[in-house]
Structures are given as structure tokens and as C-alpha cells.
Amino acid sequence: MPAQINRQFQLAKRPVGVPDRDTFSYVEVPLGEPGPGQILVKNQYLSLDPAMRGWMNDARSYVPPVGIGQVMRALGVGQVIASQNPQFAVGDTVNGALGVQDYFLGEPAGFYKVDPKRAPLPLYLSALGMTGMTAYFGLLDVGQPKAGETVVVSAAAGAVGSVVGQIARIKGCRVVGIAGGAEKCRYLKEELGFDGAIDYKNEDVQAALKRECPKGVDVFFDNVGGDILDAVLTRLAPKARIVICGAISQYNNKEAVRGPANYLSLLVNRARMEGMVVIDYTSRFPEGIRDMSGWLAEGKLKSKEDVAEGLENFPEALLKLFSGENFGKLVLKI
């Protein structure tokens, strides 16, 4: 029988600006067998995340960069097809850092089991996965919204942002989303129940914030940074909280990241700005998953997945995150 092949995308070089197909090398390697403590997983869905752009940089961060020649890091779900690890059996469905490849072979550090009968697999990468947990803990733990307050979220129609806004609504807040394009803004208001939406591609964000947030902004959950962060800084309410979840507008910069020019608004409003990284909340995920599952079952929370297909299309699929072509949590079906 011919040896089975594992297709992989390895990091070929550190991109300057927007990554492209040449950032990666596509290779086909023979598939090995698990050694002691290892498992072999057939990857089914990979999570495509803006953070992957940061992992390509040779810079200190909350996880080490991907090395040149290493398989590009990606979270995903897949099925165990061989195991020499007593914690995982053949047939288990697992969630972990599977990498951009057809099969994962190695020690399942940080992997956990999910039940494919309880929810469609992509949901374990969106509302019930790292994305949903980012929204849940970032908003509730760091943003600390109170009923009646105004919550603004950027990249609001995206995976994290759309969940943030819905949780804020569940908690009784007035919610305004900032997103690119009329269709995304319509979706926020008509399908997710946001109170207001700002189309940053077609309107003046500062003027629109004045219209949508007459009493100021109590919580800003920021996924974008740059001009949008600066605009929201001018509309803070006293004691406002800004959650720095991400800054996607800055990830492909060729020059230094642009910092917030209007930060003195924090002083004037006795406000605070705090970063959050979801991995700090791993031990509390069961709490988040319990609430999110309940809200999904009650119909209070909607999760939208955008499924791209085919490992071979990985480089182009990833770029949808930076052009805004994705609508919902972007996953790649293998």
C-alpha cells in the first residue's frame, strides 16, 4: 500500500505587509504513525484567525512565533484516527492547535474533546470555541457592562464582534456596532437586534457616533484600532472601559503600529483601557460554554460561520479577514 500523504502549508518567510501565497510553502510529506503519548488526527475544520498574521512575525507575543519551515499554526477540530495517548481514543473529536495540514501528528498539548452530536463542528470554532470565549470574557470580565449602558463594538459583524454585541444586548445594554458596508450593518440591526450600526466605509465615524451614542460610550470593545479607536476615544462617557481585544487595521502595517492620538480622553473621563488575551481564561471556559450554549438553545444568540473549502485554498481564504470579505466566523473545511 502506498504511504499516505499529508499536505501542509509551512511558513516560508516572514511577510512584510499583507501575506500572500509566497509567504507559505505547500509541501506533501509522508504520514507517520503516533509514538508514545502522541495522537494522529484527521483535520476537519481549521479556524482562520487574524492572530495568525501576528504569529508570522518574529516578535515577542503571548505565544512564540511560528518558525520558518514549521507548519503554520491554526486551531481546528478533527477526528482521532490513531492514538498512543490514554486520554484520547480513536473516534474522539478533538479541538486543538492542529496546524494548516490534512493530519495532525504529535502530542495533544492543550487539546480537548468535543461532542459532534451536540453541535455542528464549526460551532466549536466560533461561539463555543476560542472566538466565543474571547467575546464572553473580554466583554464581561474586562468591559464589565451594566444594564442601560452604551456598548460600542468594532468589526461588529465579525466572529468576535457579533457575539460581543449580542451578549451586551442579553445583559440589557444599548449596543452600537461599527462594520464595513451596508449589508453588514443591516444584518447587525435587523438580524442580531443591535440598536445602531455605523458603516465606517461609507460614513464619518465621529459624526455617526454622536448620532448613535448621545450619552457617550460606556464600553468600547475594540477589534480594529487605528482611526476607529481614535474616533471612539472622543465620545467616551465618564468611567468608560475600553477592551483592547485586537487591532486588525494595524496587523499588516509596514510601518510602526499607530497608537491612539486621543488617549488624553482617558484622563478627562477617568476611563481605562485594558488588553485581554483569551488563553488567560482557559480554566474558566466551562463557565463561558455553559452560558453560551444556553443562549444558543434559547435563540438569544446567533452564530454565523463562513465556510471556505479546501486546504489548497488556505492562503487566499486567510486574506478574506483583512479585506472584510468574511461574513461571520471564517473556517476552512478540509
Q: Where are the beta strands (DSSP E) in the chain?
A: 5-11, 24-30, 39-47, 75-83, 93-97, 103-106, 112-114, 150-154, 174-179, 196-199, 217-222, 236-244, 272-275, 305-309, 329-333
Cβ-based nearer residue to ligand NAP, 121 or 185:
185
Cβ-based nearer residue to ligand NAP, 49 or 92:
49
Cβ-based nearer residue to ligand NAP, 80 or 152:
152
Cβ-based nearer residue to ligand NAP, 156 or 236:
156
CB neighbourhood size of 24 (10 A): 22
Rounded Cα distance between 284 and 140, Å, is 13
Cβ-based nearer residue to ligand NAP, 77 or 155:
155
What grid cell was written down for 277? 488575551
Could you tell me the smallest distance in angstroms from the CB atom of residue 32 to ligand NAP? 31
Using CB atoms within 10 Å of the CB of residue 50, give its burial: 0 to 12 exposed, 13 to 18 middle, 19+ buried: buried
Could you tell me the smallest distance in angstroms from the CB atom of residue 222 to ligand NAP? 8
What grid cell was written down for 298? 434559547
Could you tell me the smallest distance in angstroms from the CB atom of residue 164 to ligand NAP? 9
What are the CA-CA distances from residue 320 to residues 106, 149, 292 (Å)? 30, 33, 26
CB 241 within 8 A of CB 274: yes
Could you tell me the smallest distance in angstroms from the CB atom of residue 218 to ligand NAP? 20
Rounded Cα distance between 138 and 117, Å, is 28
Could you tell me the smallest distance in angstroms from the CB atom of residue 55 to ligand NAP? 11
Cβ-based nearer residue to ligand NAP, 1 or 256:
256
Strand, helix or coil for residue 75: strand
Cβ-based nearer residue to ligand NAP, 106 or 180:
180
- Point out which residues bind ligand NAP (CB under 6 A): 49-51, 131, 134, 155, 157-161, 179-181, 184, 223-224, 245-246, 248-249, 276-278, 321-322, 324, 326
Could you tell me the smallest distance in angstroms from the CB atom of residue 167 to ligand NAP? 14
Could you tell me the smallest distance in angstroms from the CB atom of residue 249 to ligand NAP? 4
What grid cell was written down for 166? 449580542
Rounded Cα distance between 135 and 281, Å, is 11
